[in-house]
Amino acid sequence: MVRLVSQQRIDAYAGASGDHNPIHVDPSFARATPFGGTIAHGMLVLALIGEMMRGAFGEAWSTSGKLKVRFKAPTRPGDTITASAVLSKESADDAEYAVQCVSQSGEILIEGRASVKAVS
Amino acid sequence: MTSTARTSISALSRGHEFPSVAFTVSEKVVRAYLDAVGDAHGYAETVPPLAAVALGLSAVQEQIALPEGSLHTGQEVEHHAPVRAGEALTLTGRIAQRSERQGFVVSVIELEIATVAGVAIRARSTIMAPGGAS
């Protein structure tokens, strides 16, 4: 899955989630920080992994899915992110995937694992 | 959602419990969330689990102060049951872990979002905030 993260999307996410931290929504504030500009909410970028897993597993994701990730690098307005999942372990009970989001330059933004119970 | 006097997350000890919050996620909020993240799968009346977690985290953050330079560095989510739009929810939260590293306090906020039927979502958010003693 691929998605553009624009400042408009970040602003909309701040409104929807209630997280109005100025590092995300105030360009003049963010310019003075070590990031040099606004960055997307980690949870906004993570939503792409959630959407991907829900799209693949449907209701099973909402009833048994597990996700554990680290936010490795900031996502900036204008970045195009790609989410992926690669099967890493499978048993009769569940399947585990290595998941990540990378930027257009290949930088890893989010990395971790997701698991979901097998549908009987 | 209610808020209380704000204490810096760096000052909260392991085991600190946040006041529980009763809330609902309306269909309107779900649609705003889906539009914002660009999710076209159409959950309809179901709340995307990460939306519930994000709203829960925001509710907890209303009760604390995050020092400038704080970073959300990790996230865990366990899904147990779907959450329906408009359903009565209870959020409970606590500081599950706290450590100090190179001038930062690393706190893990553990959240539980429950419906009347029981726990629907468990989440752990790792926050690094300036303010450590070292």
pTM: 0.93
A55: left (phi over 0), alpha (psi -120 to 50) or beta: alpha
Place of tokens 């000890």: B13
Interface of B with A in 38-57 (CB under 8 A): 38-39, 41, 43, 46, 48-51, 53-55, 57
Asked if residue B4 has pLDDT above 60, the reply is: no
Residue in chain A lying closest to B74 (CA): A70
> Distances from the Cα of B57 to the Cαs of A17, A32, A57, in angstroms?
9, 26, 25
Residue B2 is predicted with a pLDDT of 43
Nearest to A17 among B58, B71, B82 (CB): B58
Residue B42 is predicted with a pLDDT of 66
Place of tokens 């929810």: B89
Residue in chain B lying closest to A33 (CA): B69
Q: How confident is the model at residue B134 (pLDDT cuts 50, 70, 90)?
A: very low
- Average pLDDT rounded to a whole number, residues A54-68: 93
In a domain, B6, yes or no: no
Give the residue extent of every domain in chain A: 2-6+39-117
- Average pLDDT rounded to a whole number, residues B92-113: 95
Residues of A in Cβ contact (< 8 Å) with B79:
61-66
- Average pLDDT rounded to a whole number, residues A95-115: 98
Comparing A107 with A59, the larger pLDDT belongs to A107
Are A63 and B80 contacting, i.e. CB atoms less than 8 angstroms apart? yes
Place of tokens 């909402």: A62
E strand segments, B33-132:
46-47, 64-65, 71-79, 83-84, 89-101, 104-115, 118-130
- For chain B, the domain total comes to 1
Q: How confident is the model at residue B132 (pLDDT cuts 50, 70, 90)?
A: low
Query: Alpha helix (H) ranges present in A37-113?
Result: 42-57, 59-64
Q: Looking at this predicted complex, what is its ipTM?
A: 0.93
Asked if residue B108 has pLDDT above 80, the reply is: yes
The residue among A43, A45, A53, A117 with the most chain B CBs within 10 A of its CB, best to mutate, is A43
Q: Which domain, by its residues, includes B124?
A: 11-130
Asked if the C-beta of B76 comes within 8 angstroms of chain A's C-beta atoms, the answer is yes
% of chain B residues with pLDDT over 70: 92
Nearest to A63 among B73, B77, B79 (CB): B79
Q: Which residues contact A32 (CB under 8 A, 6 or more apart)?
A: none
Comparing B45 with B130, the larger pLDDT belongs to B130
- Average pLDDT rounded to a whole number, residues B2-11: 71
Helices B27-37 and A42-57 cross at an angle (nearest 10°) of 100
Long-range contact list for B42-45, CB < 8 A, 24+ apart? B43/A54, B45/B84, B45/B85, B45/B86
Residue B44 is predicted with a pLDDT of 64
In a domain, B117, yes or no: yes
In a domain, B2, yes or no: no
Asked if the C-beta of A51 comes within 8 angstroms of chain B's C-beta atoms, the answer is yes
In a domain, B4, yes or no: no
Does domain A2-6+39-117 fall under CATH 3.10.129.10? My reply is yes
Asked if residue B75 has pLDDT above 90, the reply is: yes
Mean pLDDT of all residues belonging to chain A: 95
Asked if residue B15 has pLDDT above 90, the reply is: yes
Residue B67 is predicted with a pLDDT of 86
Asked if residue A70 has pLDDT above 90, the reply is: yes
Asked if the C-beta of A44 comes within 8 angstroms of chain B's C-beta atoms, the answer is yes
% of chain A residues with pLDDT over 90: 91
Q: Which two tokens stand for residue B107?
A: 């706190």
Asked if residue B3 has pLDDT above 50, the reply is: no
The residue among A11, A54, A99, A108 with the most chain B CBs within 10 A of its CB, best to mutate, is A54
